Amino acid sequence: MKKYTILICLLFLLTCFHIPAEAGSKYDNLPAPQWVAHAMFVAMKQAERMYADVEDSARLPRSIQKGLVSPADWTSGFFPGLLWYLYEYTGDGVWQERAAYATGLLKQERFNAFDHDIGFKMYCSYGNGLRLTGNRQYEQIIFRSAKTLTSRYSYKTGLIMSWEPNEARDWQFPVIIDNMMNLELLMEAYKLSGDTTLNYIARQHADKTMKCQYRPDMSCPHVVDYDAETGAVRKFDWNNGSDDVTNSTWARGQSWGLYGYTMMYRETGDEDYLRHAEKIAEFLLNHPGLPQDLIPYWDYTGADRSTMRDASAAALMASALLELSTYSGQGKRYFAAAEKILQTLSAPEYLAEPGTHHNFILKHATGNYLRHSELDGALSYADYYYVESLMRYIKLLNHQELF
């Protein structure tokens, strides 16, 4: 009798505990390692707590150091995008409602032409929302956002200007490698509208960046400044990564480029973009400065580089490699590298415990090392690309389409 009493008590206790959300996931019947399910569970628990702060404040998370920020901040689209991925993973309408609310906070940003980051803001949020819901209002917002981005394009340079001219920095027409990521907004709007100008601008920017921003070894600086009238390169420069402009190989910047050119191959079928992405991947995976666990330091070559890792560069690289693995003859190698990155990020050293780390998911993400900004902490875009990578990983394990 005593044994039966104990059994009943144990069953009662089990029913009192919250069942992990992954148990109800629409991906629950698809094979995936337990570490993936655990990682998604942590992501959901952290996002649930973070969302409560977003709902209370109508602001969006950026980092531990900078907290919640206005929708005008360049990072504002990442948390809404993360919520859309959690909706995709669970199929739970609660996550859809949360994602829709957070996305709606960015609506007015479709007119914000202050810098190029409208692509980050509006595609990660509204782009994922459109992909998962087919909401026609989202189509209009994406198109309007893309047209706003094109206002920064110069036919003289063949590029989208990232930041404004800056006399103190001696910048006439500064372009940063991050800008490659914003071309996805243009390509999506082109597909939705048939406006060939959007396709033209995206390809021109990608082509000029490929020609002028990459060194022979396939590394790139953060910033290239161009002559505003002739489009000629004036100088390599930095705002992130090492200040050694000859050799600086800012880790996240290399990942932006890898992701951007992989995406442009997807959108255009242009083999030049695929070959460029493969060359970047080979440079990174063979780099002597890349640690064995494949989580980069903040810069691959900076003199002070070996002091701090950047989980955001790793998560971004994993996502890009997973997509590239579906196009390249080196697919198995790229998939294995991405898998190793995700396994490392999903271990306790990098994955936060639920309820800790100010409700961010990944630890050891570095914003701007030399400017002492957002160091070794949390970044909303590290979390976004981590969850995106996990979703891509699950789909590829189960032979599903990524998009």
Contact residues for 12 (Cβ-Cβ < 8 A; gap 6+): none
Instruction: Find residue 176's DSSP bridge partners.
Output: 223
End-to-end CA distance of the chain: 56
- Whole-Å CA distances, 158 to 152, 228, 230: 11, 10, 10
The Cα–Cα gap between 219 and 279 comes to 10
3-state secondary structure of 309: strand
Q: Residue 128: is it exposed, middle or buried by C-beta count within 10 angstroms (0-12/13-18/19+)?
A: buried
The pairing of strands 159-160 and 153-154 is: antiparallel
- Whole-Å CA distances, 248 to 206, 223, 236, 359, 374: 21, 10, 10, 32, 19
Closest CA to 386 of 52, 48, 133, 46: 46
Q: How many Cβ atoms sit within 10 Å of the Cβ of residue 369?
A: 24
The Cα–Cα gap between 272 and 264 comes to 10
The distance from CA 123 to its chain's CA centroid, rounded to whole angstroms, is 11
Q: Which of 117, 299, 310, 383 is catalytic?
A: 117
Instruction: Report the 3 state secondary structure along 92-108.
Output: CHHHHHHHHHHHHCCHH
Is the alpha carbon torsion for 284, 286, 291, 292 positive or negative?
positive
The Cα–Cα gap between 260 and 178 comes to 8
Residue 383 is among the residues annotated as catalytic for this protein: no
Q: Which of 115, 178, 310, 383 is catalytic?
A: 178
Residue 178 is among the residues annotated as catalytic for this protein: yes
Q: Which residues are tagged catalytic?
A: 117, 178
